[in-house]
Structure 1
Amino acid sequence: MKIDPSFIWLAFVQLLAVIPTTLMITAVSVTAGFVIGLAAAIVRIYNIPLLSQLASAYVTFIRGTPMLTHLLLIYFSLPVLVDAICAQFGWGFKSSSIPMIGFAFISFSITAGAYMSEVIRSGLLAVSRGQLEAAYSVGMTTPQGLRRIVFPQALAASLPNLSNSVIGMLHGSTLAFTVSVVDINAKAQIVAATNWKFFEAYLAAAAIFWGLTFLIEKLTALLEKRINLYNRGGVA
C-alpha cells in the first residue's frame, strides 16, 4: 500500500471545518452530564428515599450498556414519545423538527451523567466528613458547606478522572455519525469516499483527535497546578 502524504494534508484541512461540531457535542454532553452526575451522586450519598434507588438504577443501567445503544434508543423512541405528547395536547410541534444533533446531545448527556456520577461521588466521599461538621460549627447550612468547602476539595480530588471522562466523551462523539451528524469521523469517511483513500483520511482524523486530547490533558495539568498552589497556601 502506497501512502499519499498530500491527501493526508488535504483531508486534514477539510476536517478542520467540522471540529466545532465535535467540540460542541463534547461540551454539551460533558456540561449536562456533570449536572446530572452531581445530582445523582448527592442523592446516593445522602440516601434520599426513592431518588437514591432511581439514581442507582440509572447509573447501573447506563454503565452496563453500550453508548451506541443509548443513542439508538433515544433516536428511535424520542420521536414517538414527542409526537404522542404533542398529539395528546393538540400541539403543532413534530419530532421531525428536532435536529439530528439534538439526539446526540440528549443521548451523550445521559451517558456522561452516569459515568460522571461515579467520579463525583468518589470525589465527595474522599473529603473528610469532619469538613462538613466544621462548616456547621461556624453556622453554615448543609448547602453552604457543600458549596464552599466540600465541592472545591472534591473537584480537586476528581479532576484527573473528570479529565478522562471529557476525553472519553470526545472520542465517543464519533458515534454521532450513526444519526447522520457530520463530525470529524463522518467527515473523514466522506472525504475518503471520493478516491478510496480511507487510510490517509482516518490518519488525518486521528491526528486531530490526538491534538484535541493533548490540549485537554495540558489544560487539566494547568488547572491541577493552580489548585495545588492554592492548597499549599500560595498565590496564583
Structure 2
Amino acid sequence: MTLDFAFIWQAFLLLLPAIPNTIYITVVSVGCGFIIGLIVALSRIFAIPVLSQIGTAYVTFIRGTPMLTHLLLIYVGLPMIVDSLADKYHWSFHSVSIPMIGFAYLSFSITAGAYLSEVIRSGILAVNKGQMEAAHSIGMTTFQALRRIVLPQAFAAALPNLSNSLIGMLHGSTLAFTVSVVEVNAKADIIATTNWKFFEAYLAAALIFWGLTILIERATALLEKRINAYNRGGVA
C-alpha cells in the first residue's frame, strides 16, 4: 500500500471547515456538563434530601451505560416527548424544529455532567474540611465559603481530571455523526467516498484531533503554572 500524501493534505484542508462543529459540541457539552456536575456534586456532598439520591442514581446510570446509548435514547425519546406535549397543549413547536446538533448538545451534556460531578466532588473533598469551618467561624455563609475558599482550591486540585474530561468529550464528539451531525470524523468519511482513500482521510482527521488535544494540554499546563504561581505567592 502506498500512501497518497497529496490527498492527506487535500483532505486535511477539506476537514478544516468541520472543526467548528467539533469544538461547539465539545465546549457546549463540557460547559453545561460542568454546571450539572457542580449541582450534583454539591447535592451529594451536603446530602440534600431527594436531590442527593437522584444525583447518585443519575451518576450510576450514566456512568454504567455507553455514551452512544445516551445519544440514541435522546434522539429517539425526546421527539416522542416533545410531540406528545405539543399535541396535548397545542404548541406550535414540534420535534422537527429541533436541529440535529441539538440532540448532540443535550445528550453529551448529560453524559459529561455525570463524569464531571465525580471530578468536582473529588476536588471539593480534597480541600481540608477545616477551611470551611474556619470560614464559618469568621461569619461567612456556606455559599460564600464555597465561592471564595473551597471551589477555587477544588478547581486547582481537579484541573488535570477536568482536562482529561475535556479531551474525552472532544474525542467522544465523533459519535455525533450517528444523528447526522457533520463533525471532523464524519467529514472525513464523506471526503473518502470520492476516491475510497479512507486511510488517508482518517489519518488527516487523526492529525486534527491530535492537534486539538495538544492545544488543550498546553492550555491546561499554562493554567496549572498560573495557579501554582498563586499558591506560592509568586503573583501579585
Q: TM-score range by the shorter chain?
A: over 0.9
User: d(CA) in 2 for partners of 1:16 and 1:91?
Assistant: 39
Could you say which residue in structure 1 is the equivalent of 2:33?
Answer: 33
Residue in 1 aligned with 2:43?
A: 43
Distance apart, 1:88 and its partner CA: 1.1
State how far apart, in whole Å, the 2-side matches of 1:135 and 1:88 are: 51
| Residue number in structure 1 paired with 2:172 | 172
- The gaps in structure 1 that reach 5 residues or longer are none
Residue 159 (structure 1) aligns with: 159
Counterpart of 1:87 in structure 2 is: 87
Aligned residue identity for 1:165: S
Give the aligned partner of residue 204 of structure 2: 204
Aligned to 1:13: 13
User: Runs of at least 4 residues of structure 1 off by over 3 A?
Assistant: none
The match for 1:107 is 107
Shift of 1:86: 1.2
Deviations 1:90-120 (A, max 9, x none): 1111100100000000000000000000000
Q: 1:140 aligns to what SS in structure 2? A: coil
CA distance in structure 2 between the partners assigned to 1:123 and 1:235 by the alignment: 23
2:55 corresponds to 1:55: yes
| Cα shift readout 1:128-186 (whole Å, capped 9, x = no counterpart) | 11111111122110000000000000000000000000000000000000000000000
1:129-140 pair list within 5 angstroms = 129-140=129-140
Partners of 1:119 and 1:103 lie apart in 2 by 24
* Separation in structure 1 between the aligned mates of residue 201 and residue 24 of structure 2, nearest angstrom: 22
Distance in 2 between residues matched to 1:99 and 1:136, nearest whole Å? 47
- Give secondary structure in 1 for the equivalent of 2:43: helix
Deviation at 1:235, TM superposition (A): 1.0
Calculate the aligned-residue CA RMSD, in Å.
Answer: 0.6
Between the aligned partners of 2:94 and 2:132, the Cα distance in structure 1 is: 48
Rounded to whole Å, the distance in 2 between the matches of 1:140 and 1:51 is 24
Gaps of at least 5 residues in structure 2 are none
TM-score, normalised via structure 2 length: 0.99
Q: What letter is aligned with 1:160?
A: P
CA distance in 1, matches of 2:219, 2:92: 45
CA distance in 2, matches of 1:94, 1:49: 35
Distance between the aligned counterparts of 2:134 and 2:125, measured in 1? 16
Is residue 227 from structure 1 mapped to residue 235 from structure 2 by the alignment? no
Q: CA deviation at 1:51?
A: 0.8
Equivalent-residue separation in structure 2 for 1:79 and 1:12 (angstroms)? 36
Normalised TM-score (structure 1): 0.99
Q: Deviations over 1:183-221 (max 9, x none)?
A: 000000000000000000000000000000000000000
The alpha carbon displacement at 1:2 in A equals 1.3
Q: Report the 3-state secondary structure (helix = DSSP H, G, I; strand = E; otherwise coil) of the residue aligned with 1:170.
A: helix
- Number of residue equivalences: 236
CA deviation string 1:5-26 (max 9, x = no partner) = 0000000000000100000000
Distance 1:139 1:233 in 2: 26
- The code of the aligned residue for 2:43 comes to V
